[in-house]
């Protein structure tokens, strides 16, 4: 099992979170609140792991907002760092591109 989700959850639990400009734009476009995503990171479910990404370790996770709606979030930790947890992007998954449970990409 990957340790990358824990590398993101630990700083987020301490409030060490940064939201990228792109992340803010995507959150706003889909009507997702930053506080919902940050609060739910502790319960995030790993979908894809990118441990060797050149800019750091990143994960795609499934989370839910305060009303229970699904949100896919890309979180990362910059290369060579342990903090902050960076919210790279978040979006409402398109059911056409994912399996019924929104956990695997359609092939």
10-residue averages of pLDDT along the chain (107 residues): 79 93 96 95 94 92 96 95 95 94 90
Give residue 1's pLDDT: 58
| Domain range for 57 | 4-92
pLDDT value for 57: 93
23-32: long-range contacts at Cβ-Cβ below 8 A with a sequence spacing of 24 or more? 23/86, 23/87, 23/88, 23/89, 23/90, 26/89, 26/90, 26/91, 27/90, 29/91, 30/71, 30/90, 30/91, 30/92, 32/65, 32/71, 32/90, 32/91, 32/92
Domain count, the chain: 1
Instruction: Please state whether the predicted TM-score (pTM) of the whole model is above 0.75.
Output: yes
State the DSSP code for 95: G
Does residue 107 lie in a domain region?
A: no
Is residue 100 included in any domain, yes or no? no
Residue 97 lies in a domain: no
């Amino acid at each position: 099992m990957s340790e990358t989700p824990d590398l993101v959850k630990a700083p987020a639990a301490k409030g060490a979170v940064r939201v990228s400009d792109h992340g803010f734009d995507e959150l706003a476009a889909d009507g997702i609140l930053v506080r919902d995503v940050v609060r739910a990171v502790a319960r995030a479910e790993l979908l894809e792991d990118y441990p060797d990404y050149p800019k750091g370790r990143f994960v795609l996770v499934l989370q839910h907002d305060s009303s229970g709606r699904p949100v896919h979030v890309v979180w990362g930790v910059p290369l060579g760092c342990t903090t902050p947890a960076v919210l790279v992007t978040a979006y409402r998954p398109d059911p056409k591109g994912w399996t019924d449970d929104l956990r695997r990409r359609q092939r």
